[in-house]
Amino acid sequence: QVQVVESGGGLVQTGGSLRLSCTASGLRFDDYDMAWFRQAPGKEREGVSCITRYDVTRYYGDSVKGRFTISRGNAKNTLYLQMNSLKPEDTAIYYCAAARGSFCSIGDMNEYNYFAWGQGTQVTVSS
């Protein structure tokens, strides 16, 4: 059974930093491109960043480019998201997911191309 567990969220002030982690089990982690998504209240889930299997390519959404860094530790089956210079508009539940194929690009980062969703971790940025 495939399972992912996100952690590392919390409450932070504007300009602060957080590091999210996502640990996956039940799948061969290095067989999959991975991504972070987020969903703010009343909004659709959006792709934040993705990383290919062996970290050859990373993509970022325009709203987080230059502030967030995605990485992965294949030996630990773990995906990370370092978030710096946080803004109130970054407030959301953050999810990680595995790609169903080669879907690590901004145009392909949607919930239909990904699976293995966890419960998410709440990130709240106060102004």
Which pLDDT tens digit goes with each residue over 42-87? 999 999 999 999 999 999 999 999 999 999 999 999 999 999 999 9
Q: How far apart are CA 37 and CA 53, in angstroms?
A: 17
Question: Measuring CA to CA, which residue among 83, 60, 62, 58 is closest to residue 72?
Answer: 58
- What region does 112 belong to: left with phi over 0, alpha with psi -120 to 50, or beta? alpha
pLDDT digits (tens, 9 = 90+) for 23-52: 999 999 999 999 999 999 999 999 999 999
How many CB atoms are located within 10 Å of the residue 126 CB?
11
Question: E strands along 26-126, which residues?
Answer: 34-39, 46-51, 58-60, 68-73, 78-83, 92-99, 114-115, 121-126
